[in-house]
Amino acid sequence: MNAGISIRPSRDLRSNYSQISSLTRQNPVAITVNGKEDTVVMSHESFVSQQNYIAEMEAKLAVYAHLAQAADDVKLGRVQDLDTACDDILSELDGLEL
């Protein structure tokens, strides 16, 4: 178990909720049932922060995947000059019905 996580028995959820809630402001709290870790409780602020961090990392990963694909395209010679690329894009746009 992570050293930054407090461990509390499930019975404390009823009898000491305010204390557990206070603990979650510092670190997540692992709730145990029959001596085994069962659930982790964290503050809403920590949860939102973690979700935002995950979303940011997923967005970066998507960019890195595109960059890796572009690098592969260059290595394999799947390139064209800018004028040709722009002409191709414009001709595709001209063919679209709006």
Bridge-based pairing state of the strands 36-41 and 29-33:
antiparallel
> b/e string for 41-69 if b means 16 or more Cβ within 10 A?
bbbeeeeeeeeeeeeeeeeeeeeeeeeee
Q: What is the pTM of this model?
A: 0.69
Burial class of residue 29, CB neighbours in 10 A (0-12, 13-18, 19+): buried
Give me the pLDDT at residue 72, please.
97
Give me the pLDDT at residue 96, please.
87
Give me the pLDDT at residue 33, please.
95
Q: What tens-digit pLDDT sequence spans the chain (98 residues)? A: 556 889 999 999 999 999 999 999 999 999 999 999 999 999 999 999 999 999 999 999 999 999 999 999 999 999 999 999 999 999 999 988 76
Domain boundaries, the chain: 6-42, 46-94
Q: What's the CA gap between 81 and 23, in Å, rounded? A: 59
